[in-house]
Structure formats: structure tokens, C-alpha cells
Structure 1
Amino acid sequence: MPIVPSSYKPSSLFKNGHFSTIYSAKLRPSPKLQQERERLHLPDKDFLDIDWSFSKAPSQKVAILLHGLEGSAQRTYIKGQGRILQQNSWDVAAVNYRGCSGEVNTSYASYNAGSTGDLVAVMQHIIEKDRYSQIVLIGFSLGGNVLLKYLGERDTLPKQLKKGIAISSPLSLQGSLNALEKRNNWVYRTSFLYNMRQKYKEKMLQFPEQMSASDLKKIKSIFDFDTIYTAPAHGFDDAFDYYNKNSCLQFLPNIKTPILILNAKNDTFLSPDCYPETLASERKNIYLESPKYGGHVGFHINNSVYYSEQRSLQFINE
């Protein structure tokens, strides 16, 4: 499939990648979206929460939304995407990963960029409702890596699953970590690291034999966090093993489901290998759209609707 030309042309301020990223994350008014929470108990006795939004008329179509690193289903970008879907006859299941819904999860493990097992559980739970003939996946940032890995690591998928969309997604975890470590990204990694350290403190009270204040003091970067917590908690040898085994780039050639990858060229979170142009040009089901602008999940048109939200709706309805 040829590379998809993008029609996204923002106003002058939003041509700046940092401005569009920060405005969209911190300053955009939160779209109004009614959500109903459902707790899903997982096979290992842990839990995660799903925030549902329903179309006005009964629908047989549902979109599963997956948030980014240290996000939740309450984030502005989730609500914006959910609202336009709800207004266009889609039900929405916005997933909060373990420990991301405002309550510490019960197991030592939480979530990571490749933890597709919980997505399997969510899919199965929704299919068992026997209400939906069409399911689509829409993932943002880390959530995009999760859904692409999920689509590419399995030989069989539910027949109801029709399409996937990955927005501002780090297809290479190591590459994106290196990008975030650059000086111009200090504000983002500082914010991520603050939230990660806070969650480590909370979890340390649950698991004092596995987590300690001395280890917390050593966490001075995202790499440190992945070395000290993410890798051992989820069964990886070290942070590099975690990055190598979970980057979705290696799984893309196996994907048969139609997918759209929407990654802006001025997204400072992404490395050059997050734009797989050669692969997309050779495959009929991989649509790669790389607008010049958009920052990281910052495809602003106006506060009511973003380009990424319109584009996702268009792609799943095609």
C-alpha cells in the first residue's frame, strides 16, 4: 500500500511540535464524555478498569481505546477520540491499564509496552458480551505499540476484530527511549519519571521485600525505572531485553489486519525507525501516514476535534 499523503495542516502555532504536544496534553479543555466504569478481574486475580461510553442508539460496533505511558481513560486524547466515535454510532471501551485507574493494582506486575495478555482478556470479555460484530483497536503512544504487537504476534485473531490504529506510537522502544533522553525532551521525561516514582512509592508499601527506598533513590531516569522495576516485575532479564522483545516493529510484517500508523514527523518522542516507509509501501494492509506536523498526540484542529480523531473515524468506517 502506498504511503498515505496527509491533509493535516495546522495553524501556525501548532506547527511547533513542542507547542502542539504540550497544549494538547495540558491545556486543551477536556471533551465532555459520559463514562461508566466496569471492573474486569483478570486471570491472575488482579484487575483493570474499563470506562465505557455508549452510542445513543444500540450499536454492534465497539472501539477499544488504549492510552499511553502513565495515562488513563480520563486523558483528554482518550475522551476526544471517544466522543467523536460515540457521536458516530460506536460504543467505546476505554481501557485503564493495571494501576492506572486511580487505584493501585494488587500484583507486583503492572503494565508495560508489550503486555498484550491483558488486551487478550479485554477482548475476550467484550466478545463474551455477544453484542458486537465489529471491534477496532485504537492505541495512543505506548498503547499503539501494545496493539500492533498484539496483532502481529498471533496466528489467529477474533473474527470480530476488523482494524487497528496506532497514533504517535514508538515502534522501536529503545529508539524512542533514546529520543526522550535528548535535551529538548527534558520536560516530558521529567513528568513521566515523577509519575513513575510516585507509583513505585505506592507499590513499595505492598511489596516491601521486592521494592525498597534504596532502589527508589536509584531511579533517576526512565531507563533506571525499567531496569529496577519493569524488567524484573514482568520477567525480563534487564531493560534491554524488555525493549528488544516488546518493540512492535519486529511484529509488523506478520500483521494481516488493516492498520493505520499515524506518526507525525515532528514528534520528538519518536526515532527514525518509527516511520517504516519501505514496509508500508510493500504491504497492502499497512497504511502509514506521517504528517509534517502534529507533535506527540497533538493533531490540533480546534478544541472540539483533532485531526487524529477525524482520521481514525474515517479509517474504521472505510
Structure 2
Amino acid sequence: MPFSDQAPRLELAPFRARLPWLGGDLQSVRNALAKPVPPRPAARSSRLILPLADGTGDRLHVTLDEPAAPRPGLPLALFAHGVSGSEDSYYMLATAARLIERGYHVVRLNLRGAGPSRIDCKRHYHAGRSGDLRDAIAALPTALTANGAVAVGFSLGGNTVLKLAGEQGAGGPVVAVASVCAPIDIGLTTANLARRRNKVYQKVLLKPFKAEYVAPGAELSDALRAAVERARNFAEFDATVTAPRNGYASAQAFYDDNGARHHVAGIRVPALVIAAQDDPIVPFAPYAAIDWRALPWTIPAFTRTGGHVGHHGRDGIWYVEAIDRFLASLEQR
């Protein structure tokens, strides 16, 4: 059952919000308020530790979910989380459950310095660390990656998988990607988070992000540790920490090099791109500015409502259904 390397024609049902979660903000905070219990598919889960190849000695801790009824010929599904997320973020577990039920092996990454990976990392993830995903795929057992990998990213992780696909082009280990609410213009997203109306979002995301950045094991100069402490928002953090720590002259230089909007033209594998126009965190304008018709490998799946990694619909989570249908359309039966 080989995986098709052609961009599919995909028809998705329109998104219809589930009451009472109306509007971008309620859609975005629904999981935090309702605290839903993640689905538990029939699977065996185990811990893998994957070395990174950049000479730092950093290692990623990941969870491998092996379905009770695997289907031969399918690629591995590799998941990347968002800011302050981990392998156990609800969106990771909900999407993994659907794919496991369909026979996919799933690897849920803890990005560099996040969650269980924190104890084995001197450095930290950012939206453009696509090389970490390449290293993770290369370090996995070949039996898992024999049919390639589908990279699925949420929020920050969505930017990373789109950048990875654009850099790879055709013929690499990634055979398809799906992104959910990716900040494809990192600078504009950072500026949007600094708005007064987004004060709560910024606080909820920044506080744990800063805590894991300076957690035991992190290799930081005293000056950078002080800059982490002083940063009042992500704009200040990127200017005083992210850019200098990663060798960029300015935050803008970091944004220009790592934003997926600068890389999507290079995508040569099927790519599902999900975004909501009322996302309160990630502005939709960068998506609207791209001529997706000129990018035949990409499938834009844009909704009027849905919020940020929300899409809580009347029949479940819409982006989970969209990813499921996308992968089904690529399978050669």
C-alpha cells in the first residue's frame, strides 16, 4: 500500500462551530476551560531518545505510539507541538488517536528543551529548527521510516514542518506535511501577541516558555539569563535572547530566515495548510497574501472561524478530520 507522491484533490466539509464555543477566542481557550479527556486508542507507547547531529550533545525524548492493528506500507506520522507544549498536549493526543486508529505509527516529539527533552538539552527550540526534525527522522529505527514520514505540526510546530518541507523539496524522507494554525510570519505574530487584547495569551504562553528556557541543563551566559528574566513579551525575548543566541543580528533577521512564508514556494510534497481567519494569536493576513494557486503541492484549508488550534466542531475537532481525510487521499488502495 504505497503512499502517493501526488498532491491530492481534497474536499472537506465546512467548519461549523460547536456551541457554546463561538468566536476565535472561545475556540482557542476551549480546551483550557473544558479540560477534555484525551482519547485512548489501542496502542503500545514507549520512550525513545534521539540524538541531534549539531554537536551540542542534545537529545530529544519522544513517545512512539504503535497501533494494535498497524497497516503495512504507511509512512510514520511525526508530530511537532507549539509554544510551551509537549508530547502530551491535547491537540497532539487527539490527532494521534485518530491516526493510530487508522493504523499509523505515531512519534510525538518533545522539541529541543521542551517537556521530557529538557533534561537532555543545552539549547532550546524555536519556530525554525527544522534541522531538529530532520535529525529526529534520521535517528529513528529504519523500520519506522522505511516508507518515509508525514510531518504534522501545530502552531509553532506547524511553521517548522512547512519550513522543513520547503527546504527539502522533492525526494527527501518527508513525504507529506500538515500544519495547523502556523505562524508563517513570525514577526507579525509576535507583534500581534504584544497587543493589549492579547495580554492574557502572551502571559499564558510566555511564563512557562521562559521557565523551561532557563531550567537545569540549559547552557546560557549570565547575560542571556538576565535577558530572559527581563523580557516582558515575545518581541523583547526574540530581540534580546532568540536572535543573539542563534547567531542573528536582529529579531527581524531571525524572522526572515525562519518564517515559513519564505519557504512554502519550495514545497514539493503534498502539504495541507490549515488556518482560521479569526485566529486571535496568528494573523491571517500572511496567508491571504500568498497566491496558493501558484503552489500546486499545497492545499489551503482556510476557515472563517475556528480560532487558534481550536476548530471545535459539531462533529468533533475539524482539523483532526481534515488531516485524516488528507492522509486517506494520499493512500494508494
2:317 aligned residue: 306
Q: Which moved more, 1:86-95 or 1:280-289?
A: 280-289
- After superposition, residues 113-152 of structure 1 pair within 5 angstroms as 113-126=127-140, 128-129=142-143, 132-152=146-166
1:228-252 deviation line (CA, Å, top 9, x unaligned): 2222222222222111110010111
- After superposition, residues 26-45 of structure 1 pair within 5 angstroms as 26-33=33-40, 35-43=45-53, 44=55, 45=57
1:50 aligned residue: 62
Q: Which moved more, 1:273-282 or 1:109-118?
A: 273-282
Return 5+ residue gaps in structure 2 as ranges: 1-6
- Is 1:20 aligned to 2:32, yes or no? no
Q: Which moved more, 1:202-211 or 1:26-35?
A: 202-211
* Secondary structure in 2 matching 1:50: strand
1:54-107 deviation line (CA, Å, top 9, x unaligned): 111234422111111111010000000000110111111111101112353455
Relative to structure 1, the CA distance from residue 257 to residue 22 in structure 2 (aligned partners, 3 Å threshold; closer, same or farther) is: same
**Counterparts of 1:211 and 1:204, CA distance in 2:** 14
1:243 aligned residue: 255
1:288 aligned residue: 300
Q: Which moved more, 1:235-244 or 1:203-212?
A: 203-212
1:177 aligned residue (178, 190, 215): 190
- Counting matched residue pairs gives 315
- After superposition, residues 1-318 of structure 1 pair within 5 angstroms as 7-33=14-40, 35-43=45-53, 44=55, 45-59=57-71, 60-61=73-74, 62-102=76-116, 104-126=118-140, 128-129=142-143, 132-158=146-172, 161-202=174-215, 206-209=219-222, 211-212=224-225, 214-276=226-288, 278-301=290-313, 305-318=316-329
Relative to structure 1, the CA distance from residue 47 to residue 203 in structure 2 (aligned partners, 3 Å threshold; closer, same or farther) is: same
Whether the 8 Å CA contact 2:61–2:116 is kept in 1: the answer is: no
How big is the shift at 1:307? 1.0
1:39-65 deviation line (CA, Å, top 9, x unaligned): 112222111111111111234422111
TM-score between both structures, scaled by the size of structure 2: 0.86
1:124-150 deviation line (CA, Å, top 9, x unaligned): 123623564252111101111001111
**Counterparts of 2:248 and 2:174, CA distance in 1:** 29
Return 5+ residue gaps in structure 1 as ranges: none
**Counterparts of 1:53 and 1:183, CA distance in 2:** 41
Whether the 8 Å CA contact 2:25–2:307 is kept in 1: the answer is: yes
The alignment yields a C-alpha RMSD, in angstroms, of 2.5
